[in-house]
Structure 1
Amino acid sequence: MYRPLSIFIGTRYTRAKRRNQFISFISMTSMIGMGLGVLAMIVVLSVMNGLQDEMRTRILGMIPHATLSSSEPLLDWPQLAQQALKNPQVLAAAPHTEIQGMLSRRGVMQPVLVSGVLPAAEEKVSILAEHMQRGSLAALKAGEFGILLGENTARRFGVQLGDKVSLIVPEATKGSVVITPRLQSFTVVGVFKVGADLDGSLALIHVADAAQLKHWPAGQVQSVRLTLEDLYQAPRVSAQIAAGLGQGFTATDWTKTQGSLFQAMQMEKTMIALLLLLIIAVAAFNIISTLIMVVADKRTDIAILRTLGMTPGQVMAIFMVQGSVIGLVGVLLGGVLGVVLAANLTPWVSALESLLGARIFSGDLYYISYLPSKLEITDVLLVCSAGLLLSFLATIFPAWRASRTAPAEAMRYE
């Protein structure tokens, strides 16, 4: 099979035993360093993807993907929900009312966002029913003033099912600019835990009780909550639905309420990737050191090849091939091991916890009790491409130095 001379000699240099064992050692450490850098980037990016996906599922599974509202409370919300469901992107719709208030019990106070929900419809748009620790979503009944609290809130107040808490909401008197607090007693009928900040900042009541707190007629709600098939289409889809409903209707989506959180997480992932890229850069510098020493060791061979008619470009290609092969082997090794480790990280960490008899990630300290990992092929391709590119760039200077070798000068003392 025909192979260009530069590729043949370059691969031959890579396989052949060198007289200088130190050069062989540096070459091997370059491969290992490149592999470790690629492996670390793939695993860490997979963990970051898993954390993002977990937080997205938990937070956006509790808050609305989008809401439709008007300047006045909505009375015929089922009709509005039916119109929204005509859009193929909308999976479910439910009534929703928000109230900013303060929970109080025995001198302990905590600000809270109270969501008025309809239990039967909320199960279709929220993951709340899957994360109930005690009680149930169905325990919210109109007129009974029951409340669901997050795990952190319930622990802070030291309450159990059946205990009472007071909700303080601001109330403006008609014809006056004075705002007075209104106190309403609620019975704890359930405790949920989704593993996010919402466990300490969100509470749920029946939508009919929320209307009573706002002095609205029975059946009126603040907005209609939508769950979408593709949550990243929420701004476009919600605006399109609101425009079709006519004047006076507005749309709000999750990017306006929680967008900054996920932007911060994406920035954190980018910065960690750039820092880990330095590991690959160090391995690339090792390739430069290896090739410089190889060029010094092969000066006689270079002189002979030049005497036989090899051009400087072909000499340069020899050492670029050799350095690229070192980088390629390291990238392939790190890529394969990184994919295997990232794909099995969660069960392996769980097995390690069982073996050690200790929890690395405690649910009492962290939002999640396990290490999530989500392998994305785009991340693998980007990391491997970055490793190959840096390896190739690392070969240019040593190869150029080799091509500048003068045959007569190299052979003078041979």
Structure 2
Amino acid sequence: MTWISLIGITLAVAALIITLAVRAGFRNEFVDTILGSNAHVTVYSSIYVEDGDTSREIKDFDVWADALRAVPGVTRAAPLVRGQVMGSFRGSNAAVDVYGISYDDLLTIPRVGQNPDEAWGDISRFSDGIAIGSGVARELGVAVGDKIKLISPEGAKTAFGTSPRVSSYEVVYVFTAGRYDIDKTRAYLTFSEAQKYFNRQGAADEIEVMIEHPEKVDDIAMHLLTAVGDRGMVWTWRDASGSFLRALDIEDNVMFVILAILVTVATLNIISGLIMLVKNKGRDIGILRTIGLTQGSVMRVFFICGAFTGIVGTVFGVALGALFAMYIDNIMSFVNYLNGGGAWDPSIRGIYALPAELRLVDVLKAVSLSLGLSFIVTIFPARKAARMNPVEALRYE
């Protein structure tokens, strides 16, 4: 029974630590790819009427960008032109989300221009062509140096209507940002070229704002609105991904509760073992009590027996869980090998690998839960042993 209790506590604590580490790693990786590839705050214009047509174009985008850069905490404000087109190369087609941005601003995007997971080509040649995500390159079957066609239904306006616009661009840079959905659709053109291609002469679609402390984006949002005036509107990264992050928080809490129940069940085995021990040692307890051992001393003996099982199981569980979290990549590679590939599908999970981040606070939570439950459940059989009547224990001896 002691060995069963020990193994149960070890596995339960390890499962709790592994789960908390994976959830923390997944959340941090997800947030890092959001902040590393997208704007912290997107500033755009409300709808207005111009020449009888509604529009959201920002004509004075330079003025807006300068005003946003002046807000304390803002590190960058970059005008953007955005549009969705179809990319084509030798009969292969893919949906492409095109961002028109200046070269200097492209270099400041962490997961694209500064520190991508992988990159091919020369980003300094950005003005000569187009930069695309690795997913776009894979779907179209292109490499650096190839020319892809961008096809937009909103082309040149003629007397006979709007004709599709088809332009070819050399692929000069291919990047992997770490997010499957971004790498599969994202492409960058120079700001001036995107203005021509999407008929945005002298205008931008939005202003991409990066701030010093993204986690405090809600505090700075009102200041950004004030800077651009009544026509401005903002969309933060929390607005875009807040529901997913809240779902992760709920899932974290639920998983902790479920695994806490698992730890509780494992520690209950200590009660079974101690009750059997008390039954088997009834004669010894009676002799010790008759020679002067106090109830408190008997209780401490059996409490130490049960608590020691919980302590050893917790130590082994922490070691097992920490090793699993630290070598998660090797373990997932082995699982992928056994599964014949496809054990981790980035198209479903959004990121390319199962991350794990071992945090001290998570380990302490698991240790506190395990030791606390182990000590609590040990008290009851220990009290039963301490209260045993020595006369009754030795009646039939």
TM-score by length of 2: 0.78
Residue 140 of structure 1 aligns to a residue in which SS? helix
Q: What does residue 50 of structure 2 align with?
A: none
Aligned AA (2:126): L
Aligned AA (2:22): V
Aligned AA (1:135): G
1:224 partnered with 2:199: no
1:283 to 266, 287, 295: 266
* Kept after mapping to 1: 8 A contact 2:92/2:141: no
Q: What does residue 109 of structure 2 align with?
A: 125
Aligned equivalents of 1:181 and 1:155: distance in 2? 29
> Could you tell which deviates more after superposition, 157-166 or 73-82?
73-82
* Kept after mapping to 2: 8 A contact 1:118/1:206: yes
Aligned equivalents of 1:301 and 1:233: distance in 2? 65
| Pair 1:167–1:137, CA change in 2 (3 A) | farther
Residue-by-residue CA offset, 1:119-178 (whole Å, 9 max, x unaligned):
21121134212336333444333xx7x33222222222223333232332458989xxxx
1:183 partnered with 2:165: yes
Q: What does residue 13 of structure 1 align with?
A: none
Residue 286 of structure 1 aligns to a residue in which SS? helix
Q: What does residue 246 of structure 1 align with?
A: 229
* Kept after mapping to 2: 8 A contact 1:345/1:373: no
* Kept after mapping to 2: 8 A contact 1:103/1:168: no
Q: Could you tell me how far 1:224 is from its partner in structure 2?
A: 1.9
Q: Could you tell me how far 1:384 is from its partner in structure 2?
A: 0.8
Matches within 5 A, 1:155-166: 155-160=138-143, 161-166=145-150
Q: What does residue 276 of structure 2 align with?
A: 293
| Pair 1:242–1:192, CA change in 2 (3 A) | same
Aligned AA (2:166): Q
1:135 partnered with 2:118: no
Aligned AA (1:186): S
Unaligned runs of 5+ residues in structure 1 are 1-25
Residue-by-residue CA offset, 1:60-96 (whole Å, 9 max, x unaligned):
2111111222234334444433443444433333222
Q: What does residue 20 of structure 2 align with?
A: 45
Percent identity over paired residues: 31
2:6 to 8, 31, 36: 31
Q: What does residue 5 of structure 1 align with?
A: none
Unaligned runs of 5+ residues in structure 2 are 47-55
Aligned equivalents of 2:379 and 2:227: distance in 1? 60
Aligned equivalents of 1:284 and 1:340: distance in 2? 22
Q: Could you tell me how far 1:52 is from its partner in structure 2?
A: 2.9
Residue-by-residue CA offset, 1:316-364 (whole Å, 9 max, x unaligned):
565344322321232234335544664x4368769x98xxx99998999
Q: Could you tell me how far 1:261 is from its partner in structure 2?
A: 3.8
Q: What does residue 17 of structure 1 align with?
A: none
Residue 203 of structure 1 aligns to a residue in which SS? strand
Q: What does residue 6 of structure 1 align with?
A: none
Aligned AA (2:391): A
Q: Figure out how many residues of one structure are paired with residues of the other and give that number.
A: 376
Aligned equivalents of 1:172 and 1:254: distance in 2? 34
Residue 39 of structure 2 aligns to a residue in which SS? coil
2:35 to 60, 68, 79: 60
Aligned equivalents of 2:37 and 2:381: distance in 1? 57
